[in-house]
Amino acid sequence: MTYTILHGLMYPFLFLSIYFQVLLLTSFFENKKKIKKEEEYEIKNYPTVTVAVPCWNEEKTLASTIDSLLALDYPKDKLSIIIVDDGSKDRTLAIAEIYAYNHPEQIKVLSKENGGKHTAVNLALEHSTSDLFGCLDADSSVEINTLKIMVSYFDVDKNVMSVTPCIHIRNPRTLIQRLQATEYLINIFVRKAYGQLDSILVAPGSFSIFRKEVFEIVGNYRKAHNTEDFEITLRMHKAHLKVMNSHKALVYTVGPATAKGFFYQHLRWARGFLENSLNYRELFFKKEYGNFGMFTLPVAFIFIFYGLYATVFSVYIISSQLIISINRWVTVGFHPQMPIFDLFYFNTTAMSFIVMVMFSMLLLVLYIGNTLSDDKQQFYFNFPIFFILYPLFAPLFFGRAVIDTFFKRRNEWVLQDTKK
């Protein structure tokens, strides 16, 4: 009876999963010519751009971040860089001041007491007079043509209010970073497909660019449960502002190198998503907010809970089979033998067929994500790592996020791995 109930409840989850993947693949292939045309966008008029670099104890990565911004193929008199030190305890401020001294025409340094990333970015906003404004995390770097590519979207379409980049893990070395490399590759495809549906879920803090008037319309950044980039994207959708994605604008970020760092990073993201979604629950299933309100946001919210249910179902099945095997061993003894592969015993149930279809589509998503970007990832090597490790981590940080949200536990700033 228990098996029948659990088994039956899995089908809605599998249906939603397939529907989600088919919708995104259909959106991508229907707009393939349009996506290809985006690669031909050119800038006729160069607007002024300010890039904020909020930093807290980033002495190890700040220099490479600033170097990448200074190397951008963009008119120097049109690009301003504002480095905001958020109360660092290391040499971050000293490094920033050296760069400001050497590049006074482009770089300004601001220093404040520690108050969180949103306060640092808002301080930079107050000192910006540019047409466009963006933020680059101090552990990230940009390719030389990234800004020019992203700005072209604003020049071609005056309705575009924000453009998100194509983000990769920089030089993945550990198993955890290779896991993330595949995760980011999936997100490249998903963000592009969402862009064609005008329903991008989040404009990430790693170099999303905004028209300055966005902040006049929706206001400045907020703490937003430590996920300020997701919350401001929700406000933009609520105000019907257009967000697009540039798949050729490459940005590299340093992923956590350890399991602990990966867990706490994703815990912050998961909890921030849940709490912000609940704060903006009036967007759920509302036609006036288009695909974002009718599909993207509510399905992403539901998937967290169904994912946890799928974990419970899997644990139940594995435990049941293990108990059966133990009972058999106790009764007749343990007689090890080599496994025999025979197609006759191949599982042909509806659920196994659906899972195989989902797996095949996931591989297609990875392939498309890899071809979209100019940075070709070793996803054939990284995917097995993702396939094995991610299902072990996801129930942990999603489960913890649900518990913390439900019991309204205090949401402190959760740091990523500092040993990058």
Task: Report DSSP letters for 398-416, one per residue.
Answer: HHHHHHHHHTT---PPPP-
Supply angle C-alpha 8, 14, 16, rounded to 5. Answer: 115
Supply angle C-alpha 240, 272, 64, rounded to 5. Answer: 90
Tens-place pLDDT, residues 277-335:
999 999 999 999 999 999 999 999 998 998 898 888 888 778 887 887 787 777 776 66
Tens-place pLDDT, residues 10-56:
777 777 788 888 888 998 999 999 999 999 998 988 999 999 999 99
Task: Provide the residue ranges of all domains of the chain, joining segments of one domain with +.
Answer: 1-30+159-203+240-324+349-420, 43-157
Cα distance between residue 172 and residue 307, in whole Å: 27
Alpha-carbon Rg of the chain, whole angstroms? 23
Supply angle C-alpha 380, 386, 391, rounded to 5. Answer: 150
Indicate whether 414 pLDDT > 90: no
The secondary structure element, H or E, covering residue 107 is strand 107-112
- pLDDT for the residue 418: 40
From residue 207, alpha-carbon distances to 138, 210, 253, 370, 391 in Å are 11, 10, 10, 20, 29
Q: Report yes or no: 296 and 199 within 8 Å, Cβ to Cβ.
A: yes
From residue 357, alpha-carbon distances to 62, 147, 275, 349, 354 in Å are 44, 38, 33, 13, 5
Cα distance between residue 268 and residue 152, in whole Å: 33
- pLDDT for the residue 4: 72
Tens-place pLDDT, residues 64-81:
999 999 999 999 999 999
Q: What is the mean pLDDT of residues 81-92?
A: 95
Query: What is the band of 416 on the pLDDT scale with cuts at 50, 70, 90?
Result: very low
Q: What is the DSSP letter of 163?
A: E
Of the candidates 415, 397, 403, 49, the residue with the CA atom closest to the CA atom of residue 208: 49
Q: What is the DSSP letter of 374?
A: S
SS3 content of the chain, % helix, strand, coil (to 5): 60, 15, 30
Q: What is the mean pLDDT of residues 398-414?
A: 84
Residues constituting the chain: 420
Query: What is the band of 196 on the pLDDT scale with cuts at 50, 70, 90?
Result: very high
Rounded to the nearest 10 degrees, the angle between the axes of helix 228-238 and helix 117-126 is 60
Tens-place pLDDT, residues 214-271:
999 999 999 999 999 999 999 999 999 999 999 999 999 999 999 999 999 999 999 9
Cα distance between residue 351 and residue 343, in whole Å: 17
Q: How is residue 217 written in tokens?
A: 């319309």
- pLDDT for the residue 419: 41
Whether the predicted model's global pTM rises above the 0.85 cut: yes
The dihedral over CA atoms of 99, 122, 406, 392, expressed in degrees to the nearest 10, equals -30
Where is pLDDT greater, at 175 or 417? 175
**Domain at 43-157, CATH class:** alpha beta
Q: Report yes or no: 92 and 139 within 8 Å, Cβ to Cβ.
A: no
